[in-house]
């Protein structure tokens, strides 16, 4: 029996209801130390000092992790003010985006019902719920990795034409660049290991062509290199 199509109105209602539940309780508890206090304090210092280049924690320069999440939270602070809710908003946004992108991948590969199931499973998965409402870098890192690997899956699925394959793969490279700006080179090591192991195990050499490595690396460096260069010059 063929499953009936899902109406766009029903899908939209599911997403909106999920968003209300997802974002509605962000500010219901105080920030936990040390992680949440640290990752709220650094962007707060950016807003207070006006220096968005060099991360600072308690007036000390803090280079343990790159800057993207600090920028995102600092931008939210600048627009909506500082609170428990706004401190966690970047994490919550990236968590919700993870479910939406997983839904998109499932829709492209398997259709409407698979997409809706994927969204429901992802948005209710305990680890996603926990890290999507706890202020660390892990949810944003996971979100960009999901986008990177998901883009590769679509590009390598054989569905899009050559130009779309390239565009999906470049989107994947851009996502890995954002993951690198979130938590460093772990964002490259994990996907690279996955690609190498998969291609060897499956003897899938077409995968390497679909990666568009040269164009991807250029895009990756265009996104990641400027901050690393500028912060190194500013802090010799």
Q: What is the pLDDT of residue 4?
A: 58
Q: What is the pLDDT of residue 149?
A: 95
User: Tens digit of pLDDT for each residue in 20-53?
Assistant: 999 998 988 899 888 999 999 999 999 999 999 9
Domain range list for the chain: 30-234
Tell me the two tokens of residue 210. Answer: 């679909």
Q: Give the residue among 142, 67, 156 at the shortest CA–CA distance from 97.
A: 142
DSSP secondary structure, 152-208, as one string: HHHHTSS-S-HHHHHHHHHHHHHHHHHHHHHH-THHHHHHHHHHHHHHHHHT--HHH
Q: Which residue stretches of the chain have pLDDT < 50?
A: 1-2
- 216 phi and psi, to 5 degrees? -65, -45
Q: What is the pLDDT of residue 2?
A: 43
* CA–CA separation, 44 and 220 (whole Å): 28
Tell me the two tokens of residue 38. Answer: 């640290």
Q: What is the pLDDT of residue 207?
A: 86
Q: What is the pLDDT of residue 161?
A: 72
Q: What is the pLDDT of residue 27?
A: 86
Q: Which helix (H) or strand (E) holds 86?
A: helix 84-110
Which residues on adjacent β-strands are paired with residue 56? Answer: 61
* CA–CA separation, 153 and 151 (whole Å): 5
* CA–CA separation, 101 and 184 (whole Å): 22
Q: What is the pLDDT of residue 8?
A: 84
């Amino acid at each position: 029996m063929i499953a009936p199509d899902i109406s766009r109105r029903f899908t939209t209602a599911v997403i909106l209801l999920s968003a209300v539940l997802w974002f509605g309780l962000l500010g219901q508890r105080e920030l936990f130390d040390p992680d949440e206090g640290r990752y709220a304090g650094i962007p707060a210092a950016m807003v207070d000092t006006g220096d968005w280049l060099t991360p600072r924690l308690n007036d000390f320069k803090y280079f343990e992790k790159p800057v993207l999440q600090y920028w995102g939270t600092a931008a939210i602070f600048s627009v909506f003010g500082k609170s428990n809710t706004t401190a966690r908003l970047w994490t919550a946004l990236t968590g919700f985006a993870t479910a939406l992108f997983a839904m998109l991948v499932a829709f492209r590969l398997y259709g409407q019902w698979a997409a809706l199931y994927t969204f429901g499973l992802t948005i209710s998965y305990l680890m996603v719920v926990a890290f999507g409402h706890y202020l660390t870098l892990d949810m944003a890192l996971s979100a960009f990795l999901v986008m990177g690997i998901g883009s590769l899956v679509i590009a390598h699925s054989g569905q899009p034409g050559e130009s779309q394959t390239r565009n999906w793969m470049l989107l994947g490279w851009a996502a890995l660049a954002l993951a690198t700006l979130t938590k460093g080179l772990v964002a490259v090591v994990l996907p690279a290991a996955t690609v190498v192991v998969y291609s060897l195990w499956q003897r899938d050499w077409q995968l390497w062509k679909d990666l568009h490595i040269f164009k991807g690396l250029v895009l990756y460096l265009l996104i990641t290199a400027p901050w690393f260069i500028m912060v190194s010059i500013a802090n010799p």
